[in-house]
Amino acid sequence: MSAERPAILFDLDGTLLDTPGAIAGTLHRVLAETGHGDVPDERVRATVGRPLTAVFADLTGSPEDSAQVAEAVALFRELFRRTVVPEAAALVFPGIPELLRTLRRSGHRTAVVTSKILPSAMELLEPAALVDQFDAIICHGMAERGKPHPDLALLAAERLGTPAHLCTVVGDAVDDMRMAAGAGMRAIGVAYGVASARQLTASGAAQVVETVADLARGLGQEPPRPTAPAPRAAPVPLP
């Protein structure tokens, strides 16, 4: 049965949590430790939000199924778990918890749709106290193809019992916008994450917002009033 109100599908990194800086810093550390420390920062940051195997294959020039990529992915996850995950609660963008609660009270079904694998998504969402605000958590590997293909978004719609045309994707990356377009869904780009407003619009965003308050308005809600604005955790320093 379809939900009466549109379902909202949220990206995780750079949309719910302010993690892109920490991710880029951790990528630099792994590249330095595996002999690829000369990769430019601009190129590293452009990969944030993609699956890790694809990221390290791209940045190191190795096949995705190579031992080098597997080693880099394992090191990244170890470093991220040790240095970033403990700061998850402080990385939640102010206003996001209140917006999620408001959406649920208004009758919207919600989901996370992320390029992270499920354990990596949960290790951020659980300490951030956001898990209970979602009806589904859809991660890389749950569908045949990941972002920017539409498969993950369509799986989320199926899990929520909502037709694709009644779903809205909210994300900060070009791949989020392309995924939404391929799935026949409306897309709202948030320019406080990785991609610029111009990039988000060019990739299919129907609307681009600069703040969480503007996002709430774009979703037909009153802007949230954060009860306790979270301090921003410092990004992982570059090596």
> pLDDT tens, 20-36?
999 999 999 999 999 99
* pLDDT score of 49: 82
pLDDT digits (tens, 9 = 90+) for 51-73: 999 999 999 999 999 999 999 99
| pLDDT for the residue numbered 224 | 78
Q: Which residue ranges of the chain lie beneath pLDDT 50?
A: 1-3, 228-239
What is the distance between the alpha carbons of residues 96 and 16, in angstroms, rounded to a whole number?
6
Q: What is the pLDDT of residue 183?
A: 98
Is residue 13 part of the annotated active site? The answer reads yes
DSSP 59: H
Instruction: Give the per-residue pLDDT at 226.
Output: 55
Distance CA 144, CA 199 (A): 26
Task: Give me the pLDDT at residue 3, please.
Answer: 43
> pTM of the full predicted structure?
0.86
Q: Which residues contact 188 (CB under 8 A, 6 or more apart)?
A: 168, 169, 170, 171, 205, 206, 207, 208, 209, 215, 218, 219
Instruction: Report yes or no: 55 and 30 within 8 Å, Cβ to Cβ.
Output: no
E strands, 3-134, where? 7-10, 110-113
- From the candidates 11, 18, 172, 176, which is the catalytic residue? 11
pLDDT for 4 equals 66
Q: How far apart are CA 233 and CA 150, in angstroms?
A: 32
Cα 19 from Cα 12, distance rounded (Å): 9
Active site residue 11: yes
